Structure formats: C-alpha cells, structure tokens
A and B are shown apart, each in its own frame.
Chain A
Amino acid sequence: MKHLLSTADLDAATATEILDIATEMASVSGREIKKLPTLRGRTVVNLFYEDSTRTRISFEAAAKRLSADVINFSAKGSSVEKGESLKDTAWTLQAMGADAVVIRHPASGAPHRLANWVTGSVLNAGDGTHEHPTQALLDAYTMRSRMGRLDGLHVAIVGDVLHSRVARSNVLLLNTLGAKVTLVGPPTLVPTDLNASVQVAYDLDAVLPQADVVMMLRVQRERMTDSYFPSAREYSRRYGLDGARLRRMPAHAIVMHPGPMNRGMEITPEVADSPRSTIVEQVTNGVSVRMACLYLLLGGAR
C-alpha cells in the first residue's frame, strides 16, 4: 500500500490488518514510555489546509510515538496564503524529503492530486466532502473493540450524509468488512445514489430498535440557511439523538460521533456523556489506528 486516499482502496484483508496492528499499537499507548523506534529517521509532514486541531494532533502523536520526525505545515500564515499552488507546495515538500504527507484539504480529491506530484506516501486526513479514511478505520476499530465483531453489525449513520466525508469513508469500509449500513436523515441531506449496498431511511425512530451502532454526524448550522431543513429545532426533533431515543435502542447498542459535536443539535449532553457513547474512546483509538496506517505505508511492516 503506497497511499491511503480512500477506504475503497482497502480490501477486507488489508483493513483487518490495519485494525490488528492498531490493537498492538494500543498496547504501546498503555505503556509508561509510549514510543516505538519503528519510523526513526523518517519524516512525516502534516499539511493542513483546514483548521483541525483534533486530527492534526492525533496524527502528530501517532507519528511521534513511532519516532518519526514531524513537520507541521499549516496553510494559514504560510506560502499557501500568499497564493502558492498545491503543486508548488508538493514540490517543496518533495525537496525537503517528506516520506509521508498527511493532508487535510477543503477540496475533494486534493490528496489524489497531491499523490501525482510527490514520491512519498499520501495520507488523506479529510478532503472536502469526499472521504476521511482514518476516521472510518478508527470507527471500525472502536466498533470491533466494543461489539467484538464487524461482520453482520447493523450501523445507522444519521445526519448530513451528503456533505460528510466521514459517512462516505464509513459506508465503503463497513461494506468491505461485512456490516450493514442504513443512512438516516432528511431527504435533502441523504444522497440516494451513494452506493447500492446501503439502505436509506428518513424515519430515525423506525431504525433505532434495529441498530447495533448509531453514528451521529455533525450538522452544520449553515445548512439551515441553505434550506436543507427549516430550523435547528425541527432538525433536533426529527433527527437528534436524545435520552428517549437512546432508550429505544437495543441495550447493547452504542452511540458514536466523530466530533466535534453540536451539543443540543444532533446529540443531547445526556446521550453524549452516557456510558453507551464511545466518543472519547474514538479519540484515543484514533492515535492507535493512525500509528498503524503510518506503519503500513512507510514500510514498517515485514
């Protein structure tokens, strides 16, 4: 595996391998000295065109725990703000000898373009409304550790699927790993032709009793002014997860959220902070999963 651009590029064996390696990496994170020498002398560049402190520090922690040298390149206040093109930035990183570039970009497909212009590995850390592969992998990791399996799980992904890179990566990966996916949200926010192997539902209450996992997506308030739905209040009433809805879920079912949350919009504090919520675990698991990805891409394996 040279790049990680889309979860569509992962077959079941590779995806499972990443999750298995992540399990091993998690044990490192539990040690007093949380560090492996694996990527000593390798350079990982975090190239972030969007503000995302959470994802950036997760990748940074992952690379550092593998002893890689980490360079953070934020588009703000840099040559990018002075109008430098992605291609020129790519050549700069190339000249500096980046072994891997972790890229977060507001334009869908930017990591695919970057992969044409650098010789190192490219890791997609979220591109526009396209994909966020490591988020899907950490979600799968979290489901597997909570539920013990992925095959046959019923996962409901709820909210703004149309604009969600998390949803796209999850749909593809969960399909590959044998889970069943139902997309839930107002019809304005759920693309019907995303994938033949998902179900689409508009009634959250009908889906909840059958779900093993309910993954809530962040809904941006701007969608309201674009008439995707009439008001935040109506959205919450129809598609928000509150205590009453949590109790309609099977007893074993878990609640996930990729963060950052809009408390009171798509999820109530009662649900977010309940023991059935995996939101904090997801953050922890993110580091292990990203360690596994860097390890695989940078040739640490075998």
Chain B
Amino acid sequence: MTVRRTPVTILIRNARVLGGEPTDLLLRDGVIAEIGPGLAADGAEVVDGTGLVALPGLVDLHTHLREPGREDAETVYTGSRAAALGGYTAVCAMANTSPVADTAGVVEQVYRLGQEAGLVDVQPIGAVTVGLAGERLAELGAMADSAARVRVFSDDGFCVADPRLMRRALEYVKAFDGVIAQHAEEPRLTQGAQMHEGDVSARLGLTGWPAVAEESIIARDVLLAGHVGARLHVCHVSTAGSVDIIRMAKARGVRVTAEVTPHHLLLTHDKAESYDPVYKVNPPLRTDADVEALREGLRDGTIDIVATDHAPHAAEDKECEWAYARPGMLGLETALPIVLDVLGEDWPLIAERMSYAPARIAGLDGHGNALTAGAPANLTLVDPTVRWSVDPTGLASLSHNTPYAGMTVPGRIVATFLRGVPTVLDGKVQK
C-alpha cells in the first residue's frame, strides 16, 4: 500500500513550468536539484514532460477523508489516491469524523494514517469545539502541540454560531499562529434548509437556504477577527454578497482569507430540478450572478484559494429522497480540470490559488513553493490539451457522488511527485 521508498532520481524532460518555455527538472533527494534545459540524465529515471505543464503540487485546505468512522465512504488511503490523481501533494483533512477530530489522539491517528498511505501529506484540521457541538472549546493547544502540529481549526459542517465562543476561538489560537476556518451558516436561518432560497426552491417546494445566512456570519466574523486582531479563514464562500463583505474587510486590513469550491464556480441551483441529491451540497449551489461574483473574486484575489470540499458519501446516502440525502460532492480528481475550465490556462494564477496560498494559510512550509532549484520536489504534470469525460466509477474515491458525471473537462493529470517520489505516473497511482 505504500509508495516505494527507495531513493529515486528523476529527470523530467521538456516540461513547461507554469506554462513557460520547456525545461528539464532533476528531482533528487526530495528536492528539485537542478532546473534548466538539456540536463544530463546521469542514470536518472526519465519522465517525458513534452507538452506537459509543471505546477507546484496542489494543496487542498478542505478535504473530507471520512476516516475514522465512515470507511465505507472513503478512507485516508483511498482519499489520498484521489488527491494524488488530482495533482495534490497535501490535503487538510476536516475534523467531522467519528469520533470527531477534537483531541490530540484523533488528529495524530489521522496524521499517522496519512503517513502510512504516503501518497500526499495529510494535515489534520482540528475541531474548534468539543464534538462540533458549538458549546465549549476543544483542546486546541494540545492538538497544536501534537505530532500532527494542527494549525487550522474548523467545525466544518457546522458553524461556530455563538459569537462569544467564536471570539474566544479566534483569540486563543493566536498563541500558536492558528487560524479558525469558519463554516459560515447562521443555523437559525437554515433550519431544514435543502437548497438555495430563490425561485427554484420556491417552485420545487424545497426549504430555502438564504444567502443572508452565510453573509451575516461572515460579516460578524470579519468584525470579530478585526476586533481581536486574529486570523479568520472563510470556508466555501458561495454568494456574491459574501464576496463583497470579504473584499470590504480586506480593504480595511482584516486578516481574512477565503476559499471557493470548484462546484460553486461552475454549477447553479437549477441543477436541483432533477431532485437528484448528487447536486445537494452545503452551502448550496447558488445563482448565475453568484457564480459570476465568485469567479471575479477569485481572479481579483478577494477569494484567496480554491478548496475542494471533497465530500464522499456512500450510495445509500445519495440514492434517496433529496431531503434525506447527505450534502456534499466529490472534488479532488476534478478540481484542477474545473478550475482550468473556469479560469483558462492562467498557470501562475492557478498555482497561486491552488498551491501557494493554501499552503501559506495552512502553514505547510514544505508545500506551495515555486518550482526552483532547492525547493521541495512537490509538483504535478498536467496535459492541458486532453479533454476527458468524468466517469463516477472510474474515480479513485470509494464513493461515486460526483456532480460532473458525463461532463467533458479539460486537463489530465499525468504525474504527481511528493518529495521527488512519483505518486502518479502516466495517470496511474504508484502504490
């Protein structure tokens, strides 16, 4: 199950770093030893990068790996495979497992499982509150001091709705340069909510999830973060109003960062018309105007990163009535193609939004580095000319709940390297 550990030297021929001129990259001892055209092979294993774009290994700040607790939907190992195939070298595993990752013990378990899988660096996220219950702080410091070195804390799936508790959490994690990643959803405004509140929800008779439930929490939280001088990260921003609020907060100097998911950049609420819960997600798919605002926010930097919110679910949790289905979509293997589709081949921007910035926010020093000599050899090779059709059963995830089934998307991930070791070669996981 583990990647080959024998030291390898790899020479990537003629890859275009961030879409630039073709060049060679020599990966040795976990770092990029040399970079430049016409490097000598010298016994290195040669990977032909002709026509491929080299990107720094992608970093996902928002992944659900489901282990421990729902190993029927995903495990750290299967999720790691999906991540490597998606071009990722690091993923941050959300805390809403069972048991919840709210103690040093659980985050260390997840961390260790990630190390054993060895395909990507799995960085656990710790819960903000005990059991995600929103009542009292989990032992944030213990998780920070653990072997997992947790820096990002989130109750994702639930909002830290109590303003006083949120203030305390923001303040408390300053001691170890932590950040609170908020799932912004005012729970009183979303009781029973099933989809975006608007004309489609009114027609379908599904209880609405109003944009204001997200925006009101973000507005409150940026004010709180500003007040206590703490770092705030906003998970899966989904509305135009949220983008406006974050833009305003950044202009005022608040230390806020924000993420958007690929699905919120592409899909809209009318997908619910089929009543197929593969389109049920939290926050819900919104309107065309929201999609436009999110794209603009991502381009202009109001939104710092793309995060997948990869949320595998077992078949029985999706092949049912809409209201009874769990919210969430797969994302790891389709994120880069969807972002390519949305942003176009702006490779420096893609590297910033999907690698540099998420690594910075998560405090992952070994990731999100520019591909230069001496940098850790975490990178991925993409063929932007290939278009492929998404087949749910062809994905590496244990679950099949992709909203892109049958869609043709651009960009095939050909190879991924974690500290110089190939985790994916020729589009196949190297295990």
Contacts and interface: CB of A to CB of B under 8 A. Distances in A.
B224 to A, nearest CB: 27
A12 B320 CA distance: 32
Interface residues of A, number: 21
Contacts of B72: none
Interface string B320-335: 1111100000000000
Interface in A182-238: 191, 193-195
B365 interface: no
Contact of A168 (B203, B207, B323): B203
B275 A87 contact: no
Contacts of A42: none
A129 interface: yes
Interface in B259-311: 274-276
B206 A86 contact: no
A165 B205 contact: yes
A247 interface: no
A264 interface: no
B202 A85 contact: no
A86 B203 contact: no
Nearest to B205: A130
A127 B205 CA distance: 9
B199 interface: yes
A113 interface: yes
Nearest to B316: A85
B320 A130 contact: no
Interface string B197-236: 0110011111100000000000000000000000000000
A85 B325 CA distance: 11
B319 interface: yes
Contacts of B206: 108-109, 128-130
B274 A112 contact: yes
Nearest to A161: B202
Contacts of A64: none
A283 interface: no
Nearest to A112: B275
- B198, B203, B323, most chain A CB atoms within 10 A: B203
Interface in A119-170: 127-131, 165, 168
Contacts of A85: 316, 319-320
Q: Interface centre among A113, A194, A195, by most B CB within 10 Å?
A: A113
A105 B199 CA distance: 22
A128 B275 contact: no
A107 interface: yes
A110 interface: yes
Contact of B205 (A113, A131, A193): A131
Contacts of A112: 274-275
A213 to B, nearest CB: 22
A164 to B, nearest CB: 9
Given A112-B274, A112-B275, A113-B275, A193 B322 contact: no
Contacts of A108: 194, 204-206, 275, 322-323
Nearest to B206: A108
Contacts of A105: 321
Interface of A: 85-87, 105, 107-110, 112-113, 127-131, 165, 168, 191, 193-195
Given A108-B204, A113-B276, 6 more contacts: A87-B319, A108-B206, A109-B323, A130-B206, A168-B203, A193-B198
25 contacts: A85-B319, A86-B321, A87-B319, A107-B322, A108-B204, A108-B205, A108-B206, A108-B275, A108-B322, A109-B275, A109-B322, A109-B323, A110-B321, A112-B274, A112-B275, A113-B276, A113-B322, A127-B205, A129-B205, A129-B207, A130-B205, A168-B203, A193-B198, A194-B202, A195-B203
